[in-house]
Structure 1
Amino acid sequence: MTHEARCALLRAALDAAERGWSVFPLRPGTKRPALHGEDSCPRIGDCAGLHRKWEDRATIDPNRIRRAWGDVPFNVGLATGPSGLVVVDLDVPKTKGSADTPSGVTNFRALCERAGQAVPTTLTVRTASGGQHLYFTAPAGARLGNSAGRLGKRIDTRAWGGYVIAPGSTTPNGPYAVIDPAPVAPLPEWLYALLSPRQAARVVIDPPSARAASRTSRYASTALTAETAAVQHAEEGERNATLLRAARALGRFIAWGDLPRSVVEDALQAAGEWAGLPDAECRTTIRSGLNWSIARNQQRRTA
């Protein structure tokens, strides 16, 4: 690799750090961390006394970055959690066998349409495979984890415990490049409602105030709209599984008192029947999913 290419990767790492994004080296031309694993940890330096993984060792220190990227053309890994980011990863079909197979971009647009929301405008990176990374700032006080397919087919998210390849990096499939330099937008509330675990949601909705109650209602109703729409538009062979996921996702709002069970049951039943599922199968699946979710979510205390 040329000196210019090495300098470009160093610049990409420094640019990310200047934005407050924690970076760490990936093996040249790959997506794999270049840091040592626990089995080969020398227990010195950063790992003195305790092995530190890539998320712990990611840094915004320009001096450390210059030392790491000074001689080796490492790709740039961006640790999303420490960076305060949630990145929506819109993938492309793994095979080219069918031109009709929707991509993550197509599915995400459909998700936005079903939820009655505009496609968010935010910093967007084209991935080496031809997909897209949509960058969002994480909600204050929230600690979202990664998700795989929760929002739809070929739609993953990266937050705490995850990382993405920063623009400027290159793999054998191609480069990662910014295609929309818009400012990084806050994660939309309706997406947060679909992604947030119980603990994250309670950070927002626990305070006993009118403002918190209004926001809770917004999250719950938006989640109900999005989940029922997902059931209605589920592909054949995936309808029952989609209905079960929707029931499990909405059950927490019943447990917390944000949605009446009858409202959720009626909405999911109508969506399942509209999608072509037998009414008895819908009732069984909905009951199973709601009971499972309610049993695992504590009833939120009222003020």
Structure 2
Amino acid sequence: MTHDPRTALLRAALDAAERGWHVFPLRPGTKRPALHGEAACARVGSCEAGHRKWEQRATTDPDRIQAAWSQAPFNVGIATGPSGLVVVDLDLPKDNSSADAPCGAATFAALCERAGHAVPDTYRIRTASGGEHLYLTAPDGIRLANTAGTIGELVDTRAWGGYVVAAGSTTDAGTYEALCAPVAAPLPAWLHSILQPARRAPKAPSVAVAGQSRRYADVALADETRNVATAQLGQRERKLFVAARALGRFVAWGDLPRHEVEQALQEAGEAAGLTVAECRSTLRSALNWSITHNSGRRDAA
């Protein structure tokens, strides 16, 4: 029997749509959208009211999918935002990087361990390059954006504004292959806390901005310290880790001195039953990461 790539890719698109994932065509053999760009838009058909990009045109409608994939052996793109997905992209080090550099999967596994959780058991794809995609379902009513390096080196996420290549698609580098049963687990709360945008202090007249920002930071410090101090067995290190990540933002923005945050969380962690060394190690790495990745966010707001 002759293998028909168009039929196989159509089946892949329909399979994804049956799971509620919104698909759109990618150029055959590539990861690039096959839809026209805004400059070439004739403002007809689905674009009559204005140009519609791939995220807006992604669909679960089997009739539309049949019509699109009858034209060519398109690869399958999944628009993660409309699909209610957050996909963790675990990449491999580039060829010219150090041979000792950890891959994205190792970095993510270490992060999960530090947070006190196993790597999520969820729908997983091996990418054409040998990396992995972990599919997670976003909480209802939550709109997360893409991230690049927010979680760790070679660990990105795709949500609103992003897409991934579905299983069954093929590029010059290889085929995207499903590694387990097609069930996406919910996004863990601890990972959601890292990915969600930093909360902002309410806007106020310019003369009061500095004082109000500090008051907001003080409230956050008190809340996070209480969460750590009252943590139960099995949750203590994870809550300390999450608190340090959250408060590192305020250190980066100049609202809280680092030594004040470290002292408060160190005391809270010890009060919860962690050792001095456990607190110090978790605080140092979590604060360093948060300060590095939040240094310019206030100015960009």
TM-score (norm 2): 0.72
Indicate conservation of the 8 Å contact 1:23/1:76, yes or no: yes
1:49 CA drift (Å): 2.4
- Quote the Cα distance in structure 1 between the aligned partners of 2:157 and 2:174: 21
* CA spacing shift, 1:142–1:223, aligned 2, 3 Å: farther
Q: How well do the aligned residues superpose, as a CA RMSD in angstroms? A: 3.9
**Which amino acid counterpart does residue 64 of structure 1 have in structure 2?**
R
* CA spacing shift, 1:13–1:129, aligned 2, 3 Å: same
Indicate conservation of the 8 Å contact 1:77/1:165, yes or no: yes
Match for residue 262 of structure 1 among 260, 263, 287: 260
5+ long unaligned stretches in structure 1: 201-212, 231-244, 276-281, 298-303
- Quote the Cα distance in structure 2 between the aligned partners of 1:103 and 1:130: 10
1:251 CA drift (Å): 7.3
1:98 CA drift (Å): 3.6
* CA spacing shift, 1:26–1:295, aligned 2, 3 Å: closer
Indicate conservation of the 8 Å contact 1:59/1:65, yes or no: yes
Question: Residue 248 of structure 2 aligns with which residue?
Answer: 247
Higher-Rg structure is 2
Point out 4+ residue stretches in structure 1 off by more than 3 angstroms: 216-224, 249-252, 260-275, 288-297
**Which amino acid counterpart does residue 122 of structure 2 have in structure 1?**
T
1:177-208 CA-to-partner distances (Å, cap 9, x unmatched) read: 111226210000000000011469xxxxxxxx
* CA spacing shift, 1:227–1:28, aligned 2, 3 Å: farther
* CA spacing shift, 1:262–1:15, aligned 2, 3 Å: same
SS at match of 2:86: strand
1:141-164 CA-to-partner distances (Å, cap 9, x unmatched) read: 100000000000000000000000
Indicate conservation of the 8 Å contact 2:10/2:65, yes or no: yes
- Quote the Cα distance in structure 1 between the aligned partners of 2:199 and 2:61: 31
1:212-234 CA-to-partner distances (Å, cap 9, x unmatched) read: x99x9489984651575x8xxxx
Question: Residue 51 of structure 1 aligns with which residue?
Answer: 51
Aligned length: 255
**Which amino acid counterpart does residue 225 of structure 1 have in structure 2?**
F
**Residue 102 of structure 2 corresponds to residue 102 of structure 1:** yes
* CA spacing shift, 1:290–1:36, aligned 2, 3 Å: closer
**Which amino acid counterpart does residue 85 of structure 1 have in structure 2?**
L
Question: Residue 153 of structure 1 aligns with which residue?
Answer: 153
1:187-266 maps to which residues of 2 (within 5 A)? 187-198=187-198, 217=227, 222=238, 224-226=240-242, 247-248=248-249, 262-264=260-262
SS at match of 1:78: strand
* CA spacing shift, 1:289–1:26, aligned 2, 3 Å: closer
Indicate conservation of the 8 Å contact 1:25/1:35, yes or no: yes
Indicate conservation of the 8 Å contact 2:90/2:105, yes or no: yes
Question: Residue 25 of structure 1 aligns with which residue?
Answer: 25
**Which amino acid counterpart does residue 138 of structure 2 have in structure 1?**
A
Indicate conservation of the 8 Å contact 2:124/2:178, yes or no: yes
1:80-159 maps to which residues of 2 (within 5 A)? 80-95=80-95, 98-159=98-159
1:30-89 CA-to-partner distances (Å, cap 9, x unmatched) read: 000000000000100110020010000000110010010013000000000000000000
Indicate conservation of the 8 Å contact 1:193/1:223, yes or no: no
5+ long unaligned stretches in structure 2: 201-222, 267-278
1:263 CA drift (Å): 3.8
